[in-house]
């Protein structure tokens, strides 16, 4: 199945970019490192540039946990401590070209409830509606947790969703979780779009000037 490329879409009013949890703790070397998580950055930077150039809004969600979060192992949860509010691990990846107008959405701030979706316990839906967003382009980390749940909640709230398939990476606690998560988003109605440079270059190398 051919995948659309962001550069070929005529982005405009109603389109918004949602960058999910591209934070140091989810990158190689971080406390909950997503394998190859750093590989989303180049594709997301391209997407950010496109949205900024078209004057369309960019949202960035972040996992923003208190130190005693119930999802941490110390409290019987599945995860090592990660993205603790105000720590370097919770900072956005330094290579991510977020601009000053980016709307930051913090989630997972309730110590008694984990939140994978950027919509859960946040005002993301209101903020998207405030900018008349109708179609969300979603990429980031991790495919099988926060991207999956953010896409699901967006579709449930009647946003159209394109998943930036080359700008997501999975934790893959069980092998294949990421692939299954992407399949699921498509069954729910998401569209697959590419944002990065690679696939098209393989198909049609641009002539040298």
Catalytic-labelled residue, pool 63, 107, 114, 166: 107
Instruction: Choose the binding region for Zn ion from 22-30, 59-67, 129-137, 189-197 (rule: CB under 5 A).
Output: 59-67
- Complex with ligand VGL: residue 43 or 50, whichever CB lies closer: 43
**Token pair of 185 as six digits:** 């988003």
Question: Considering the rule CB under 5 A, would residue 15 count as an interface residue with Zn ion?
Answer: no
Residue 187 belongs to what H/E stretch? helix 177-188
Distance, in Å, from the CA atom of 37 to the CA atom of 84, rounded to the nearest integer, reads: 19
Residue whose tokens read 């601009």: 99
In the block, tokens 């839906």 appear at: 125
Q: Does 142 sit near ligand VGL (CB under 6 A)?
A: yes
Interatomic CA distance for residues 6 and 162, integer angstroms: 10
Catalytic residue among 21, 38, 63, 144: 21
* DSSP code string of 141-185: E-IIIIIHHHHHHHHHTT-EEEEEEEEEE---SSTTHHHHHHHHH
Q: Cβ of residue 19: shortest distance to ligand VGL, in angstroms?
A: 11
Give the residue with the Cβ less far from Zn ion, 76 or 205.
Answer: 76
Q: How far is the CB of 24 from ligand VGL (least distance, A)?
A: 12
Using CB under 6 A as the binding rule, whether residue 21 contacts ligand VGL is answered as yes
- Name residues contacting ligand VGL, limited to 27-66 (CB under 6 A): 63
Is 166 annotated in the active site?
Answer: no
Which positions are catalytic? 21, 107, 146
């Amino acid at each position: 199945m051919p995948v659309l490329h962001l550069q070929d879409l005529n982005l405009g009013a109603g389109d918004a970019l949602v960058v999910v949890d591209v934070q140091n703790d989810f990158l190689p070397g971080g406390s909950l490192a997503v394998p190859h998580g750093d590989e989303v950055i180049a594709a997301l930077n391209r997407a950010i540039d496109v949205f900024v150039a078209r004057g369309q809004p960019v949202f960035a969600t972040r996992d923003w946990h208190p130190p005693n979060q119930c999802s941490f192992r110390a409290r019987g949860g599945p995860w090592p401590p990660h993205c603790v509010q105000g720590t370097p691990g919770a900072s956005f990846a330094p290579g991510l070209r977020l601009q000053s107008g980016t709307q930051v959405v913090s989630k997972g701030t309730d110590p008694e409830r984990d939140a994978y979706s950027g919509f859960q316990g946040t005002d993301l839906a209101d903020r998207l509606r405030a900018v008349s967003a109708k179609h969300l382009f979603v990429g980031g980390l991790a495919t099988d947790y926060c991207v999956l749940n953010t896409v699901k909640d967006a579709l449930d709230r009647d946003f159209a969703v394109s998943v930036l398939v080359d700008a997501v990476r999975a934790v893959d606690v069980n092998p294949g979780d990421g692939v299954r998560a992407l399949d699921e988003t498509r069954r729910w109605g998401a569209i697959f779009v590419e944002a990065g440079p690679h696939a098209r270059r393989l198909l049609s190398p641009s002539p040298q000037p």
